[in-house]
Structure 1
Amino acid sequence: MKPSKPLKIFILEDDLWYGTMLEHYLSLNPDYQVQRFDSEKSFFQKIHEQPDVVTLDYTLAEGDADGSKVLKKIKEFNPDIEVIIISGQDQITTAVELLKSGAFDYLVKDEDTKDRLWNVLLHLQEIKGLKKEVETLKDALKKNFDFSKVIIGQSEAINSVFKLIEKAAKTNITVSITGETGTGKEMVAKAIHYNSNKHKYPFVALNVAAIPPDLLESELFGHEKGAFTGANGKRIGKFEEANKGTIFLDEIAEMDLHLQAKILRVLQEREITRIGGNSTISLDVRIIVATHKNLLKEVQNKTFREDLYYRLLGLTIELPPLRERGNDYLILAKHFIQSFCSDNRLPLKTFSEEAIVKLKQYDFPGNIRELKSIIELAIVMAEKDIIGACDINIDNNDQLGNLLNKETSLKEYERQIIQFFLNKYNQDVIMVSKKLDIGKSTIYRMMQKGEITK
């Protein structure tokens, strides 16, 4: 990867011959801009020029200066400056301490030092290039995540949501997003994250309902090797993965009371402990939760902790169902046509008047997610560039009824029906088990056997 600008290298070396040799050798690379200094004083007079890398002689002769003190001063000035220690002494203990203090590498002076330094700088240059690329991509993502363009709609109901997203993005307040399945709760969570001061750090999403209860604690907090049967290595949990960024817990109401108590502690103490571990891990993470249920009713039903409810409440954003968003269904439908046709290199299609009427008369119980699926199927089914009413399949009963036209086993019927409802309700095992009046364990077992997919 060719750097966009030269790598600025400062050499701090009080041995004139050795410093001159390094300066000459490194200057052979046209991508390096090299300056040499023979004293700590002259070096710090120029550090405002912000070098990318400093090669530091550990045993400077000037005063009581030594590499560890100079390293500390450099890192205090700018922790992003990488420091490579070059020492005439091969001391493992000293090297380890310097690396712990932030040195990028420790090289011992010998006839191969300049070659090893050359390789270290090439590696460091690649790392810096990748970091820059990541930062550029994150900045681009933030610019592209204009929620008024990503969250499509012009209704008064959705404009009210936009205003709340703006307020949420300005602070790190805990956000609680409510709304029916398919209304776009995760999209709103992403809009808040990528427009906040945490946008350069991870956004980690977890659907609580999609994880078996006995695995959820490990998924959230991670575990140490040997913590339980099957824990063959250390695993980082979602909270730790999201550190400095945002964790989005979807369908929070499906979490059991035991784990709710642990989440409450995380919110209070801002730290976690991996399963099987003893040390605590400090957290700086924003929490956004979502549910399609009324959490207050869950508190009244004793299925959700009251203390956790008030901790999570924060700023509440209620997403309106599609049927309450006026003509947004048509704006969204046209957006889905443009997106699907573009992605699949198809000629752009339009709706017939009859198709628009059919869409308008439908309540969309699956909301935006259902609308998207309906439109994409209609594009595929339409014979011409006009999508007719006959191309729009919005009768769920007919879709299930079509299964009966195929002669197959009762087990296969069961599999297809469960898969249908899992797709409809965004892999929400709890909801599907209630809708179909079957045990959650039955669905999880079928998932583990590969009979149905997540």
Structure 2
Amino acid sequence: MSAYNIFIVEDNRWYGEILQYHISLNPDYKVTRFETGKELLDKLYLQPDLITLDFSLPDMLGDKLYLKIREVNSQIPVIVISAQENIAVAVSLLKMGVSDYLVKDESTKDLLWNSIIKIRETQSLKKEVEILREELGQKFSFEKTIIGQSDVLKKIFGMMEKASKTNINVSITGETGTGKEVVAKGIHYNSERKKKAFVPVNMAAIPRELIESELFGYEKGAFTGAVARKTGKFEEANGGTIFLDEIAELDLAVQSKILRVLQEREVVRVGGNEKIKLDIRVIVATHKNLAEEVKKGNFREDLYYRIIGLPIELPPLRQRGNDILILAKYFVDDFARQNKMGAITMLQEAKNKLLHYHFPGNVRELKAIIDLAAVMCDNNEIKADDITFNSTKKDNVFVMEGRTLREQTCEIIKIYLHKYNDDVIATAQALDIGKSTIYKMIQSGELN
């Protein structure tokens, strides 16, 4: 923690030294003493956290000096210390905005000590509020949280807005890397629960034998190693939102217990008997088709209907058209700023290369590609050769088992038509096929 800087302005050197010694007893305080108003004004650029001010200085009165301080920085709290108990002056100064007015006597040191503590606590609270407002302000805007302008993304924003106005459960589906947790946070921080906890839980990342204790908590002595009570994720989220990511990875036994928690709106810690009432919003996510998992017997039908709520399906990046370039610019600007590299330009040849890639890893993969390109480029210009694709997927994203070549071709053309906003000519040029081929497939109904 940095030192709390206090400036003392006192023309009586002996009295000033007494105040300086007394305040300096707190090791967190760094105290600097001045004997004139001019000395103080010359050092205001150092931005002290607080100023104590003798009202009667040799070069100016305290009210005049206070106004000059405010001209430089109106946020610095000022405590005026006067040798005379003049009520009118005190009231006038307090109306002007000074934080406190003290009269010099035997209790001044203690009163000053307490006044500094109160002012510092107030400053700390204001700073916390400002940070919270900044964080919430950033989270409140869907457009700032989820980058893009495509029509399909605007539909997602509309769904998120509807979700944020109620407490309906939300189920988010989409490929890995499409931003499911970002959407969940956006809904939470736009809802009435925004001041309460958002608790994300990745079901696939928790070992099977620990899942119950993580979700529901446990009491001391519930099992070997349970040396103290542990609060579970559901309890942590009480009043707020719990985000159950990769919900489809849960085995049926745990699904049954989660269903009971959601039905009863209460949880019992492992090894305990106390029923803890819950007021939570549930948002789930998966890259799998939950309805298909139900048909296969891998997911409970009753739990499916309990959590499905408002379904939001996130599109893969390859279906978001020009959002690819909008995201790429955002990522390259962010990388350059964080690494103090100056502005980085992406040449058209690099943009074209990005637009013709299928991004099996979606937004997450695009960020990794752009970060590497920013490092590899010369003269702060990203060229096509700087764009490197390192997909871990062995199969091309367009190859789908069980489909004919004609069906595969139709699917590819559909994806590119969506990418280019149904511009047949641009699609034909991108795929290097005749536009008449596309028109014929549209007329035949193959591309509907």
Shorter-chain TM-score range: 0.5 to 0.7
- Report the CA distance shift for 1:176/1:347 in structure 2 as closer, same or farther (over 3 A): same
- 1:332 aligned to 327, 333, 337, which one? 327
Aligned to 2:285, what secondary structure does the other structure show? strand
- Report the CA distance shift for 1:228/1:319 in structure 2 as closer, same or farther (over 3 A): same
In structure 1, what is the equivalent of residue 131 of structure 2?
Answer: 137
Please give the alpha-carbon distance, in whole angstroms, between the structure 1 residues aligned to 2:212 and 2:284.
16
Please give the alpha-carbon distance, in whole angstroms, between the structure 2 residues aligned to 1:175 and 1:398.
29
In structure 1, what is the equivalent of residue 418 of structure 2?
Answer: none
Please give the alpha-carbon distance, in whole angstroms, between the structure 2 residues aligned to 1:5 and 1:247.
41
Letter in 1 for 2:220: K
In structure 1, what is the equivalent of residue 227 of structure 2?
Answer: 232
CA contact (8 A) 1:177 1:316 kept: yes
CA contact (8 A) 2:184 2:243 kept: yes
CA contact (8 A) 2:321 2:355 kept: no
Kindly state the Cα deviation for residue 389 of structure 1 after the two structures are TM-superposed.
1.4
Please give the alpha-carbon distance, in whole angstroms, between the structure 2 residues aligned to 1:375 and 1:175.
32
Letter in 1 for 2:221: G
1:13-72 CA-partner distances (Å, limit 9, x unpaired): xxxxxxxxxxxxxxxxx9799xxxxxxxxxxxxxxxxxxxxxxxxxxxxxxxxxxxxxxx
Kindly state the Cα deviation for residue 128 of structure 1 after the two structures are TM-superposed.
7.8
CA contact (8 A) 1:135 1:200 kept: no
Letter in 2 for 1:152: I
**Structure with bigger gyration radius:** 2
Kindly state the Cα deviation for residue 228 of structure 1 after the two structures are TM-superposed.
1.0
Kindly state the Cα deviation for residue 352 of structure 1 after the two structures are TM-superposed.
1.8
Aligned to 2:152, what secondary structure does the other structure show? helix
Instruction: Identify which range, 224-233 or 290-299, moves more after superposition.
Output: 224-233
CA contact (8 A) 2:216 2:268 kept: yes
Unpaired segments ≥5 residues, structure 1: 7-29, 34-114, 400-454
In structure 1, what is the equivalent of residue 22 of structure 2?
Answer: none
TM-score for the superposition, normalised by structure 2: 0.60
In structure 1, what is the equivalent of residue 156 of structure 2?
Answer: 161
Letter in 2 for 1:150: T
- 1:286 aligned to 281, 286, 294, which one? 281
- Report the CA distance shift for 1:240/1:136 in structure 2 as closer, same or farther (over 3 A): farther
CA contact (8 A) 1:175 1:317 kept: yes
- Report the CA distance shift for 1:143/1:353 in structure 2 as closer, same or farther (over 3 A): same
- 2:272 aligned to 265, 269, 277, which one? 277
CA contact (8 A) 2:259 2:306 kept: yes
In structure 1, what is the equivalent of residue 338 of structure 2?
Answer: 343
CA contact (8 A) 2:360 2:391 kept: no
TM-score for the superposition, normalised by structure 1: 0.60
- 1:323 aligned to 306, 318, 323, which one? 318
CA contact (8 A) 1:183 1:369 kept: yes
Please give the alpha-carbon distance, in whole angstroms, between the structure 2 residues aligned to 1:398 and 1:171.
39
1:280-303 CA-partner distances (Å, limit 9, x unpaired): 111111110000000000000111
Letter in 1 for 2:182: M
Please give the alpha-carbon distance, in whole angstroms, between the structure 2 residues aligned to 1:365 and 1:167.
29
Please give the alpha-carbon distance, in whole angstroms, between the structure 1 residues aligned to 2:374 and 2:207.
36
Please give the alpha-carbon distance, in whole angstroms, between the structure 2 residues aligned to 1:122 and 1:242.
37
Is residue 358 from structure 1 mapped to residue 356 from structure 2 by the alignment? no
Unpaired segments ≥5 residues, structure 2: 5-48, 51-74, 78-97, 102-109, 395-448
Letter in 1 for 2:261: V
Letter in 2 for 1:168: A
How do 1:34-183 and structure 2 match up within 5 A?
133-145=127-139, 146-183=141-178
1:366-392 CA-partner distances (Å, limit 9, x unpaired): 000000011001101112211111111
